[in-house]
Structure formats: structure tokens, C-alpha cells
Amino acid sequence: MSNFNKHLKIDEVDLLILNRLQNEARISNVALADSVNLSPAPCMRRVRELEKKGFISSYTTLLDADKLGWEVSIFIEVRLERQVESNLIDFEKCINSFPEVMECYLMTGNSDYLLRVVGRDLKSLQSFITDKLAATPNVANLRSSIALKQVKYKTALPIDIE
């Protein structure tokens, strides 16, 4: 077991469970237990403990954005007027209220935030930028780039199992 795993107090079986669940969240407990060489009851106890410790934050279903009409992704760099804590907090509250914002990161470098936003088309993205984002208090500058093609997208973290 690596020092990283010892510090977190999880073992290789826990890592196997986490790896399997992040790739197949709807797996039955019986199938999960079988895949990690446990019986169902101890496997379920381990899953519940991993949830309790916060290693598993939630379970979700990934939807196909294109099939649901969210065909355009745009990345927007946001610079605020001033980078004081109250402005950051206010901006983050606003961003969390916008359902089109799929991801938001506080950044170093030329911009304060990087957003990934989805839209049904360019007109809806224009409306989002002008009516919502540019109207957000303390926003000084926006710079956007439209994604032409998604080359790689994954949600599973790389888990080292020794």
C-alpha cells in the first residue's frame, strides 16, 4: 500500500470498489462484491463507510448533451474588477445560479475564472453572455472560445491500485 493510501486509511479493496463504482455506478452490490472478491454484506459496509468518509460524494447519471439539444460548448475566461474576497464570493453565488454553467474554476494567470458553459445554439450563448454573465456585478472582462469538437471527456479519476 502506498503512503498516500495509508494516510487516507483506505486499502486496495477500497480502491477497487471506488474504481468500479466510478465506472459503473449502477452496478449491483452483488456484482460489485464479486468483482472485488468480497461477500455482499462486507462490500456494502465498505461502500457505506467510503460514503461516510466522503470518498464517494454522490452518484449521478451522465446524459448525452447533443441528443438533448445542448449542442454548443463554450469556454469563458472571466476577469473581475477587483479580486477581493467579497467579490469572489458574490461572483461564485451568481455563477452557481446559472444552470448553463457546467464547470467553474478559480484560476491563476490572466483571468480570475474559467467557465464551461453549454447552449442550445450560438444565439442562446450570446443571450447568456450579454444578459446574465456580463450583467453580473464586478465582471470587468470576458473572453470566450467556442469548442469545435470534444476530443476527450471523462469523469473517472485515475486510481492507482498496487
- CATH classification at residue 98: 3.30.70.920
Distance CA 31, CA 18 (A): 14
Q: What is the pLDDT of residue 161?
A: 77
Q: How far apart are CA 80 and CA 111, in angstroms?
A: 8
Asked whether residue 118 is domain-assigned, the answer is yes
- Flag whether 159 is in a domain: no
In a domain, 141, yes or no: yes
Give how many domains the chain has, as a whole number: 2
Q: Are 38 and 79 in contact (CB under 8 A)?
A: no
Rounded to 10 degrees, what is the CA torsion of 90, 133, 75, 108? -30
Whether residue 87 is found in the same domain as residue 136: yes
Same domain, yes or no: 141 and 99: yes
pLDDT (tens digit per residue) in 95-151: 999 999 999 999 999 999 999 999 999 999 999 999 999 999 999 999 999 999 999
Residue span of the structural domain in which 29 resides: 3-52
Same domain, 84 and 141: yes
Write the CATH number for 44.
1.10.10.10
Judge if 28 and 77 occupy the same domain.
Answer: no
User: Which grid cell sits at 47?
Assistant: 461502500
pLDDT band at residue 5 under the 50/70/90 scheme? low
* Domain match, 78 and 48 both: no
In a domain, 157, yes or no: no
- Tell me: do 26 and 91 sit in the same domain: no
Q: What is the pLDDT of residues 73-89, one digit of tens each?
A: 999 999 999 999 999 99
Query: Residue 156 falls within a domain, yes or no?
Result: no
Q: Which residues of 77-92 are buried (b: 16+ CB within 10 A; e: fewer)?
A: bbbbeeeeeebbeebe
Q: 95 in a domain, yes or no? A: yes
Q: Which residues, in sequence order, are bridge partners of residue 106?
A: 113
